[in-house]
Amino acid sequence: MTMTDPIADLLTRIRNAAAAQHHDVTIPASRLGQEIARILREQGYIEAYEVHDPAEGRPGQELTITLKYTQARKPVISGIQRVSRPGQRTYVDHAHIPRIQGGMGTAIMSTSKGVMTGHDARIEGIGGEVVAQVW
């Protein structure tokens, strides 16, 4: 099976692990995946993330994300969605960066100055590719 969209795979694995109330989820590591995990950590959607070498006989590094839950064992991430897909890229300028859930969610942007939240990109005055949205 060939993977055409590793970011959609990462988001789907996080969504499924949260729905099944898993403690953590392990995904093949990529630089963009690590940046998305960093933003999710900074915004308080996940507990932690770690890049490590895989179990014996498996190629590449792995990214383990520790999920975060409320006191009532509800996942902190209530929704996570891919916006820009390989077949339909979504680029915006700084004036059209989407506000997710009326500002309650986070847009994850890939800009010329690196991966950042939509809020930070708006402050910097730069647009870019809307990779995903989380709420």
- pLDDT tens for the chain, 135 residues long, are 566 899 999 999 999 999 999 999 999 999 999 999 999 999 999 999 999 988 788 888 999 999 999 999 999 999 999 999 999 999 999 999 999 999 899 999 999 999 999 999 999 999 999 999 999
* Pair of tokens at residue 17: 């692990």
User: What pLDDT, on the 0 to 100 scale, is given for residue 2?
Assistant: 62
- In the chain, what are the domains? 6-67 (3.30.1370.30), 80-134 (3.30.1490.10)
